[in-house]
Structure 1
């Protein structure tokens, strides 16, 4: 009597959900403060050379991933389970659309950052 255990991909999505929630709580407010308040008001001075050095590093890629990609997956997970609660029937379609759009938004954000840095 061998029972096959069906593997689930839910731990991956819950991990991205929790990581996105932490980024929403920690990194997004810091990014909004820095980019939308401190720099335009002149509280922090950043020369062009400093900006190129900072935004061209691997830390900038991690930052873009933390501020855009993880919260996108967090939102996708909330939307997916919200639609499940509303009794939407096509669960696999909802899953692929929600996470596919989050992935596309993440690739677009990181790709546009890379293109703008290279040009």
Structure 2
């Protein structure tokens, strides 16, 4: 029998953040690591490309600030959602406390990334 009055779930919110974080981590993070972790140290980039003034100009631009916030916050949501469901899969049934703890950590990182980027302005 189909339940015609199902209980509302908050899972779509967490799954959307999980999906956005996974997509960001899979598509943007490897390019960031390649450029900042490989190409820049090997000297393939112009020395002025990552100068302090250019990095600050990027971070204080609204698009750059959003990219920095997303680079920190979205993968954290993805990771904490994986931790939450991974604990359940490993038979660590923490219930609501585990859910709140995982998502509180992701929320904290999101808030801190916003605060630190806003402090640059």
Interval containing the TM-score (normalised by the shorter chain): 0.7 to 0.9
CA contact (8 A) 2:22 2:78 kept: yes
Structure 1 residues 1-119: aligned runs within 5 Å = 4-45=5-46, 46=49, 47-115=51-119, 117-118=120-121
Task: Kindly provide the CA deviation profile for residues 73-112 of structure 1, in whole angstroms up to 9, marking residues without a partner as x.
Answer: 0001100001111222331001000010011122223322
**What stretches of structure 2 of length at least 5 have no aligned partner?**
none
- Across the aligned residues of Structure 1 and Structure 2, the Cα RMSD in angstroms comes to 1.9
Report how many aligned residue pairs link the two structures.
Answer: 115
Cα contact 2:73–2:106 (8 A) shared by 1: yes
Calculate the TM-score normalised by the size of structure 2.
0.81
CA distance in 1, matches of 2:70, 2:54: 21
Name stretches of at least 5 consecutive residues in structure 1 with no aligned partner. none
Q: Normalized against structure 1, the TM-score is what?
A: 0.82
